[in-house]
Amino acid sequence: MALPSPRTPWLRRRLRQWDARAALPGDLVYAALGDSAAQGIGARSLETSYVGRLAERLERHSGRSVRVVNLSRYGARVDDCVDRQLPAALALDRVDVMTVAIGANDMRAADHEGFLARFDALLAMLPAHAIVADLPCFHFGEREFDAWRTSQVMADRVRAAGLAFAPLHRVTELRRGWGSFPEFTWDQFHPSDLGYRVWESAFAGAVTRRARQLRAS
């Protein structure tokens, strides 16, 4: 499945920023898989994206430096994770921490069972330490109903696979309503710096536990 071409200057700039971040050394390797949210579209900097915040959390709780390899892509769907992102992650010398947040773009289609079959295929390929999220809350309308229904199944399947679960839908649903307006950027779709703090909270517990395991190893 073809992804949108990175034609806009801000998207090219963000890709270059993550490539530069991946070139920095670190004691631990953190691989992030996902779509434009994992890219941090809407965040002012890498550090205020949820991936950047999680990298800082890893460093703080492990006591070790972290190399971040962000393999996410704008517009990505589950197929891109299976076919491109995860193979690239598994080709690295090692991955100590992996987060996966994918599927929001798949909600544009009506193939619920097909999506879950592809998600199951992804789960079967992930390393045992991967931390996997369900879908974010879309706040209102039919798309939110699909996201809520699908997130419930995703949560069950992540846990059944023995992987750590990040309750993204729950933490974003708690922020639903007009009061969450500052948590979105100009397009009222991608999170702002404040919104990415909420996203980080979905992963925080599992990432902290993984960091402490790595600190003790």
Residue 188 has a pLDDT of 64
What's the confidence (pLDDT) of residue 3?
Answer: 47
Enumerate residue ranges in the chain where pLDDT < 70. 1-7, 110, 176-181, 183-184, 186-188
Is residue 80 within 8 Å of 3, Cβ to Cβ? yes
- The residue segments making up the domain with residue 49 are 9-216
4 domain-assigned: no
CATH classification at residue 182: 3.40.50.1110
| C-alpha distances out from residue 213 to 80, 167, 181, 208, Å | 30, 21, 37, 9
Q: How many structural domains is the chain composed of?
A: 1
**Strands of 28-34's sheet in order across:** 66-70, 28-34, 97-101, 131-133, 164-166
* Residue 98 within a domain: yes
Integer-rounded Cα radius of gyration of the chain: 16
| Residue 148 domain flag | yes
Residue 127 lies in a domain: yes
3 within a domain of the structure (yes/no): no
Residue 43 within a domain: yes
2 part of a folded domain: no
Nearest to 44 by CA among 196, 211, 208: 196
In eight-state DSSP terms, residue 127 is: -
1 part of a folded domain? no
Give the per-residue pLDDT at 186. Answer: 67
Q: What is the pLDDT, as a whole number, of residue 180?
A: 66
Helix, strand or coil, per DSSP, at residue 31 = strand
Residue 53: what pLDDT? 98
